[in-house]
Every structure is written in structure tokens, then in C-alpha cells.
């Protein structure tokens, strides 16, 4: 009587066991994580055969615990439900030096279809090298992925210049839960080709950090990308950077820790472009910025429209810089501390429909000012304000931002300990008078000098109660509000 060997994959309803398709000489090396003895070509062909078996079995590939050394990209091109499930970080795919990518999804779908309808990955680690072009590639300039579901997938070590752990070429809807993108050149990249819509990264086990450059880089069409309940940490430049027009990004309950440890412009940098119809939008709620060094601002927006910030917090870290924007709403944002400059610069706000909205416990610059009003902004200054010094001040200088409504003033040569007027600021207005509802806030040297105060005239004296031993005083001013007289 002859016996038939029963493999795991033959059990009714079972997944496709990758080990059933890999050459038997490699199994012990895989299970013992012995990559030095593995034949990467044999393992790659076996894994690809298991993946291709989905075309007839409609089952998911199971990746038992072990290390799988591959010599070429693994390609998922089955048009309908496809995927792979491992046993957590114990299931490890290790690329070799000559591998272009780790995994490619929909680079050439079977049967000439335009894309892959659904892909699901769960519980495995993809480890790269400094020679690979990237980790997981979703879609291409020709083919799309309709839905991608990733759960507890870790991608790390793709450090070649220009490489990324996760490359989102064309994806209609993506759900990345408890995924870790760590120590890649860029952790998540949306290139210029293709499109990205309705994609979210979330879950308390989610992590985007330690990138050689940016944590997330958006260079192509991205109509909705969301991050919630996760950590951006120690990305060398920006945690999130977008250079594409009309990007919509949402952040909720996100913790930003020690990003921007080298060159870059901001923890979050969004530049919507200079055209009239090229404006991005950021919605941020209940986020925390902590200890992000070597930068001027946490969040820098240019040419954005309709952005909303509610309930955010900052500790030992600079604030926001916003230019050429409209429709900004700030509600319930908390204090920041140990900051010398925290300035919101507003420009291109000549339209009546443009507004800033503030409510209790939001501080426009540093401290917990109680503002609580909502008014349209109008550009009422035709030239920068004049700043004059009294006799007790030796020298005075002024730096304006991209708007004449904000600036920084430095006064020197003042007697230490004195209670004096250090500068007089005179605002120029084409209206001949100060509009109703214009408020001025002055902050200097981590001390609030003037509470938000409504201006009744175009001239304002800035008084400091106690001048420090240096005899120097620096302060920021910002004019907000305004209604037609």
C-alpha cells in the first residue's frame, strides 16, 4: 500500500503554507533563521509559487515563523482577494543585496486586469538592506490596488538613498493598523505617479520613525491621508512633508517626539503651491509636540485653505508658521513652554471670508491667553508699521514676517531693572483709522508683555515691567481680528 504525504495546504479550508512550496533542502535553514546557509533563489521561487497558487485556490499564504532570504521581489498580482499572514516578528522576509524591492503589489496584474482588487497582509517583518530600492510597493503608474489592509506589518532597513519602506503609487483605499515603518531612508512615500485616496495609519502599536530623511513624504496626488493614535519619532528631517498641491492630511491623537534632529524646515511641512487653485488642508486634533529640536516651527503651512487645529499641545518645542492661507480655525489648543518665538504669520488675507477663530485656552504665541472671539481678518496695513524708540533705548530694530501684521522687535541699551516703555509701534492703515475689533498681542522672552488688547488708535506703547540685566528686550507682535468700520 502506498502512502500519500499530506501537506498543511491540503487540509480543507487551510491557508497555503509557504513551506509546502519551498525546496525541502531549505526548510531547516528557514526555521533556524540560518540565512548564511540558505539558497535565496530556491526560497524566492518557492515563495512566489505559493503566492501564485492563490490564483486557483483563493486562499491566503501562511508564512510560518522563520527567516526567508529572497533574491528577487515577491509579486502579488492576483486580481481578487490575496494576501499573506505570518506569526508576528518571528516571520521574517530578508531581502538580499540584489533585490530591487521586497514585495510588489499590482505591478502587472494577471489576465490583463487593470489592478488588484484587495490585498491583506498580517503579522510579518520585511527587513531590507542599503542596496534595495524599497520595501513594499503598492500599485504603479499603470495598475491600481483598490483596497489594502495591513495589520501588524513591520518594514525596516531600506536605507538606500531614495528608497522607502512603503511606496504608495496608486491606492484607492488603505487601512494600516498597528504597522511599524522604521529606519528606512523614507518610511512612507507617495511618489508623483498615480494617486492616493482614503488611506489611514492608526492603532496604538503604530510607529513611523528613525527615517534617514522624512517619516512621510507626499510628492503626488493625495486627497485624504489620516494618522491617529500613533507615534512619529526621531525622523531626521520632517515627520510629515508634502510638496504637492491640494493635499488633505488629518492627524488625531498623534505624538511627535524628537523629530527634525537634522536639517529640514518643520516637523510637519505642507506647501500647497502658489496657484489660486493649489491649496492644501490640514486638520489636527489632540496632538502633542514634544522635544523636537533644531527647527523653527512644528507645523509650517503655505497656501492652505480650511485648516483646523483643535486641542493640541506643545512642550519645549516651537510653534506654527502659516503663510498665504485662508479659513484657519484654532480651538482649545494648550500652552507651550520654554519657547522664545512662536509666531503665526498671516498673509494674503484681503478677502472678507478669510478668518481666524480662537477660543479659550488657545495661546497665539506662547502663554495661556484667553482670547475667545471670531472675526474676519482684513489687510489694513499698507506698509510695515513704524517702530520708534524712546530716549532711554539706545537702539531698536524690527523684522517683519511675510505679512506686515506680525514682526519681531529688538531693543537694546536699556537700564536694567527699569519699568519703561521700550518701543512705540505705529500701524499704517489705508482706512485712516484703526478698524473695529483689531487686537494686538505682544510676547517677549517667554514672558507675556501685553494681553490680547483691542486697539483703539494706530499707535501703541510697549511697556516692560522689569528689564533684565542684559539691558536688552525682544518681543513679537501680532495683530489679529479686524472688521470694516
Alpha carbons within 13 A on the beta-carbon side of 6: 5
Q: Which residue has the higher pLDDT, 267 or 184?
A: 184
Say whether pLDDT at 50 is over 50: yes
CA distances for 73 relative to 40, 54, 97, angstroms: 11, 17, 12
**Calpha distance 367→353 (Å, rounded):** 28
> Can you give the chain as a three-state secondary structure string?
CCCCCCCHHHCCCCCEEHHHHCCHHHHHHHHCCCHHHCCHHHHHHHHHHHHHCHHHHCCCEEECCEEEEECCCEEECCCCCEEEEECHHHEEEEECCCCCEEEEECCCCHHHCCEEEEEEEEEEEEECCCCCCEEEEECCCCCEEEEEEEEEEEEECCCCCCCEEEEECCEEEEEEECCEEECCCEEEEECCCCEECCEEEEEEEEEEECCCCCCEEECCEECCEEEEEEEEECCCCCCEEECCCCCEEEEECCEEECCCCCCCCEEEEEECCCCCCCCEEEEEECCEEECCCCCCEEEEEECEECCEEECCEEECCCCEEEECCECEEEECCCCCCCCCCCCCCCCCCCCCCCEEEECCCCCCCCCCCCCCEEEECCCCECCCCEEECCCCCCEEEEEECCCCCEEEEEEECCCCCCCEEEEEEECCECCCCCCEEEEEEEEECCEEEEEEEECCCCEEEEEECCCCCCCCEEEEEEEEEEECC
Q: Which of 136-140, 174-178, 461-465 has the lowest mean pLDDT?
A: 461-465
225-239: pLDDT as tens digits = 999 999 999 999 899
Specify whether the backbone of 482 is left (phi greater than 0), alpha (psi in -120 to 50) or beta.
left
Q: What are the φ and ψ backbone dihedral angles of 51, each rounded to 5 degrees?
A: -65, -45
Q: What are the φ and ψ backbone dihedral angles of 194, each rounded to 5 degrees?
A: 70, -160
68-126: pLDDT as tens digits = 999 999 999 987 778 999 999 999 999 998 789 999 998 887 766 888 999 999 999 99
Task: Identify the CA nearest to 346 among candidates 395, 388, 400.
Answer: 400
Domains of the chain with bracketed CATH: 8-376 (2.160.20), 386-483 (2.60.40)
For residues 388-408, average pLDDT: 68
So what's the pLDDT on residue 128? 97
So what's the pLDDT on residue 274? 58
For residues 241-250, average pLDDT: 90
Q: Is the whole model's pTM more than 0.85, yes or no?
A: no
Q: Which residue has the higher pLDDT, 442 or 357?
A: 442
Q: Which residue has the higher pLDDT, 31 or 375?
A: 31
413-456: pLDDT as tens digits = 888 877 778 777 776 655 555 555 555 656 555 455 555 556 66
Say whether pLDDT at 144 is over 50: yes
* Average pLDDT over all residues of the chain: 77
Amino acid at each position: 500500500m502506498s502512502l500519500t504525504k499530506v501537506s498543511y495546504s491540503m487540509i480543507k479550508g487551510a491557508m497555503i503554507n509557504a513551506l509546502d512550496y519551498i525546496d525541502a533542502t531549505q526548510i531547516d535553514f528557514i526555521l533556524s533563521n540560518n540565512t548564511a546557509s540558505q539558497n535565496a533563489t530556491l526560497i524566492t521561487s518557492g515563495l512566489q509559487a505559493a503566492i501564485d497558487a492563490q490564483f486557483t485556490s483563493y486562499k491566503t499564504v501562511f508564512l510560518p515563523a522563520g527567516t526567508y532570504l529572497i533574491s528577487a521581489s515577491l509579486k502579488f498580482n492576483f486580481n481578487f482577494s490575496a494576501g499573506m499572514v505570518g506569526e508576528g516578528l518571528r516571520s521574517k522576509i530578508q531581502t538580499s543585496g540584489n533585490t530591487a524591492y521586497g514585495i510588489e503589489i499590482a505591478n502587472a496584474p494577471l489576465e490583463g486586469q487593470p489592478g488588484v482588487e484587495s490585498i491583506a497582509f498580517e503579522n510579518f517583518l520585511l527587513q531590507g538592506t542599503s542596496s534595495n530600492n524599497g520595501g513594499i510597493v503598492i500599485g504603479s503608474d499603470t495598475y491600481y490596488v483598490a483596497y489594502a489592509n495591513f495589520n501588524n506589518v513591520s518594514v525596516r532597513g531600506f536605507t538606500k538613498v531614495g528608497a522607502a519602506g512603503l511606496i504608495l503609487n496608486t491606492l484607492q483605499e488603505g487601512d494600516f493598523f498597528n504597522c511599524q515603518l522604521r529606519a528606512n531612508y523614507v518610511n512612507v512615500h507617495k511618489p508623483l505617479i498615480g494617486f492616493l485616496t482614503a488611506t489611514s495609519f492608526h492603532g496604538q502599536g503604530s510607529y513611523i520613525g528613525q527615517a534617514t530623511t522624512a517619516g512621510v513624504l507626499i510628492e503626488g496626488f493625495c486627497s485624504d491621508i489620516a494618522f491617529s493614535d500613533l507615534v512619529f519619532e526621531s525622523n531626521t528631517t520632517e515627520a510629515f512633508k508634502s510638496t504637492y498641491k491640494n493635499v488633505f492630511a488629518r492627524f488625531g491623537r498623534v505624538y511627535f517626539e524628537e523629530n527634525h534632529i537634522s536639517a529640514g524646515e518643520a516637523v510637519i511641512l505642507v506647501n500647497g503651491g502658489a496657484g489660486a487653485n493649489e491649496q492644501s488642508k490640514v486638520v489636527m486634533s489632540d496632538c502633542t509636540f514634544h522635544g523636537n529640536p533644531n527647527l523653527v516651527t512644528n507645523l509650517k503651512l503655505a497656501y492652505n485653505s480650511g485648516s483646523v487645529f483643535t486641542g493640541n499641545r506643545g512642550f519645549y518645542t516651537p510653534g506654527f508658521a502659516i503663510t498665504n492661507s485662508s479659513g484657519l480655525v484654532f480651538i482649545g489648543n494648550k500652552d507651550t513652554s520654554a519657547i522664545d518665538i512662536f509666531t503665526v504669520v498671516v498673509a494674503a488675507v484681503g478677502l472678507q471670508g478669510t478668518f481666524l477663530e480662537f477660543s479659550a485656552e488657545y495661546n497665539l504665541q506662547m502663554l495661556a491667553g484667553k482670547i475667545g472671539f471670531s472675526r474676519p481678518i482684513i489687510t489694513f496695513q499698507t506698509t510695515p508699521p513704524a517702530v520708534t524708540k524712546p530716549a532711554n533705548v539706545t537702539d531698536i530694530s524690527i523684522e517683519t514676517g511675510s505679512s506686515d501684521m506680525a514682526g519681531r522687535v529688538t531693543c537694546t541699551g536699556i537700564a536694567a531693572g527699569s519699568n519703561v516703555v521700550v518701543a512705540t509701534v505705529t500701524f499704517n492703515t489705508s482706512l485712516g483709522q484703526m478698524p473695529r475689533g483689531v487686537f494686538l498681542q505682544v510676547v517677549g522672552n517667554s514672558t507675556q508683555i501685553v494681553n490680547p488688547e483691542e486697539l483703539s488708535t494706530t499707535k501703541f506703547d510697549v511697556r516692560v515691567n522689569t528689564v533684565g540685566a542684559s539691558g536688552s528686550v525682544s518681543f513679537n507682535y501680532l495683530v489679529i481680528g479686524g472688521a470694516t468700520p
